[in-house]
């Protein structure tokens, strides 16, 4: 799993996964693993058609419990059709066939999965998969619209070649997208109504036709913040430098190259932002351009002149309005705490998150981070090495209490 979406704070949560008839049913095993890695307990229901593609034992072997495979269970559990509604915090149906969608839209309860879904009191997460012509059929689209009107979440199918070798929209959405929608249904929606902007990754400052000035930031920390904010209900804008990670389409992505590009994008959004998270490793200086052609080596020495770039965090931090909050980052190699406190004041930030990039596991391009936090009220904590999604989640916890 991509490290920036590997959230693990869902211990004590329970999710139910419904699997209906589709060649994509095997991807339910990947979803099961991902949900269990998050800490959640997972139960599964397979329709009769799903069992033509994959067996209940496959899910049981990976730790799903309970696993329902028929309408009328053998034994004492005669109320299995009520279990998800009584015990689960989220219900994901992936893949959802045209038949299952029709059952859900029209209140039919003639198999175990549709009974359980009808008895589930919260919104469902539904990920359709079918032939493109079936997906675009007016009856299917009408059923989908009914489900959306009732507040259910539909993770639309992707485009491409389907199992029947037809091209078009109908193939199951990426498992990462479905997984994140399931986590959002489990997560507290304590950032609902907030608009969050995250800057992430490096900037590239062009010098000649092939060379640029940059740094090895991967954008993993910022991507973790962007996903964490969306999981908690926020609307998210991510301003992404080159080479930053995949983000779900529900996050508005703005791809940029230089520090000037990043500032322009951030400044254009800033007045509508509630929380700004400035994780990007922005180049402080940009080389005076040689030109669009490639520089050819000549003598032994080369001198390159640089000019200052806009300090994005300071410029927008000092311009923040009442109600806006700013989280800044400080990547240091020494004097971490002193530099953080200076940055907190100079940038007019609410929180500064600092890390020593010279430490193993805490530098650029890692899946983990060891950070220190200081806020505008003088509170300070040092946190041990932890996955970046956990760091992002805990920083938001801190900010919401500030």
Tell me the pLDDT tens digit for each residue of 370-395. 999 999 999 999 999 999 999 999 99
Quick one: pLDDT at residue 76? Answer: 62
Q: pLDDT band at residue 74, thresholds of 50, 70 and 90?
A: low
Q: How much is the pLDDT for 162?
A: 82
User: Of 363 and 147, which is predicted with more confidence?
Assistant: 147
CA distance 132 to 171: 8
Does residue 10 surpass a pLDDT of 80?
yes
Give one DSSP letter per residue of 9-41, joined into a string.
Answer: --TT-EEEEEE-SSGGGGHHHHHHHHHHHTT-E
What average pLDDT does range 86-110 have in this prediction? 97
- 240 vs 81, which has greater pLDDT? 240
Do the Cβ atoms of 257 and 203 come closer than 8 Å? yes
Please tell me the distance from the alpha carbon of residue 327 to that of residue 225, in angstroms, as a whole number.
Answer: 11
Give the DSSP letter of residue 281: B
pLDDT of residue 28: 97
Contacts 24+ apart (CB under 8 A), 104-109: 104/143, 104/147, 104/152, 105/142, 105/143, 105/144, 105/146, 105/147, 106/143, 106/146, 109/81
Q: What integer best gives the mean pLDDT of the chain?
A: 95
Burial 364-387 (b: 16+ CB within 10 A, else e): bebbbbbbbbbbeeeeeeebeebb
Q: Residue 251's Cα: distance from chain center in Å?
A: 8
Residue 121 to residue 231: CA distance in whole angstroms: 20
* Segment 73-82 mean pLDDT: 73
- 325 annotated as a binding-site residue: no
Which two three-digit tokens encode residue 361? Answer: 């596991």
Do residues 338 and 358 make contact, with C-beta atoms less than 8 angstroms apart? no
User: pLDDT tier at 161 (50, 70, 90 boundaries)?
Assistant: confident
pLDDT digit string (tens) for 244-290? 999 999 999 999 999 999 999 999 999 999 999 999 999 999 999 98
Share of residues in the chain with pLDDT > 90 (%) = 87
How far is Cα 286 from Cα 202, in angstroms, rounded to an integer?
Answer: 13
pLDDT of residue 302: 87
Residue 343 marked ligand-binding = yes
CB-based contact 179:231 (threshold 8 Å): no
Cα 223 to the center of its chain, rounded Å: 7
**In this predicted structure, what is the pLDDT of residue 363?**
80
Q: How far apart are CA 234 and CA 15, in angstroms?
A: 22
Is residue 301 part of an annotated ligand binding site? no
Cis status of the peptide bond prior to 95, with omega within 30 of 0:
yes
Residue with tokens 């904010």: 229
DSSP 8-state symbol, 165: S
Choose the catalytic residue: 88, 148, 159, 164: 164
Does 284 carry a binding-site annotation? yes
Domains of the chain: 3-186 (3.40.50.1950), 195-401 (3.40.50.10300)
Asked if 164 is an active-site residue, the reply is yes
């Amino acid at each position: 799993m991509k490290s920036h979406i590997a959230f693990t704070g869902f211990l004590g949560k329970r999710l139910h996964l419904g699997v209906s008839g589709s060649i994509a049913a095997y991807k339910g095993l990947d979803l099961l693993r991902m949900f269990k890695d998050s800490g959640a307990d997972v139960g599964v229901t397979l329709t009769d058609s799903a069992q033509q593609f994959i067996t209940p034992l496959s899910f049981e072997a990976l730790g799903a419990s309970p696993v329902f495979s028929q309408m009328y269970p053998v034994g004492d559990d005669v109320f299995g059709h009520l279990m998800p509604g009584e015990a689960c915090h989220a219900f994901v149906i992936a893949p959802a066939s045209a038949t299952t969608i029709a059952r859900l839209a029209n209140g039919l309860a003639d198999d175990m999965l549709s009974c359980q879904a009808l008895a589930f009191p919260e919104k469902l997460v539904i990920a359709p998969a079918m032939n493109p012509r079936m997906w675009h059929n007016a009856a299917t689209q009408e059923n989908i619209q009914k489900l959306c009107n009732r507040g259910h979440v539909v993770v639309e199918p992707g485009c491409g070649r389907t199992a029947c070798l037809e091209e078009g929209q109908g193939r199951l959405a990426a498992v990462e997208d479905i997984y994140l929608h399931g986590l959002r249904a489990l997560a507290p929606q304590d950032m609902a109504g907030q608009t969050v902007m995250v800057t992430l990754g490096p900037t590239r400052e062009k010098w000649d036709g092939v060379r640029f000035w940059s740094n090895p930031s991967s954008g993993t920390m910022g991507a973790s913040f962007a996903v964490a904010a969306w999981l908690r209900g926020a609307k998210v804008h991510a301003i992404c430098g080159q080479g930053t990670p995949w983000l779900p389409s529900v996050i508005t992505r703005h791809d940029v190259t230089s520090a000037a590009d990043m500032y322009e994008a951030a400044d254009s959004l800033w007045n509508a932002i509630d929380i700004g998270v400035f994780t990007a490793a922005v180049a402080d200086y940009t080389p005076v351009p040689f030109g669009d052609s490639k520089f050819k080596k000549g003598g032994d020495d080369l001198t390159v002149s640089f000019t200052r770039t806009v300090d994005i965090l300071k410029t927008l931090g000092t311009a923040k309005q009442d109600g806006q909050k700013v989280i800044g980052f400080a990547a240091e190699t020494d004097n971490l705490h002193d530099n953080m406190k200076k940055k907190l004041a100079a940038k007019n930030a609410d929180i500064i998150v600092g890390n020593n990039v010279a430490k193993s596991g805490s530098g650029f391009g890692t899946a983990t981070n060891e950070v220190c936090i200081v806020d505008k009220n003088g509170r300070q904590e040092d946190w041990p090495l932890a996955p970046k999604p956990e760091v992002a989640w805990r920083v938001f916890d801190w900010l919401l209490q500030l």
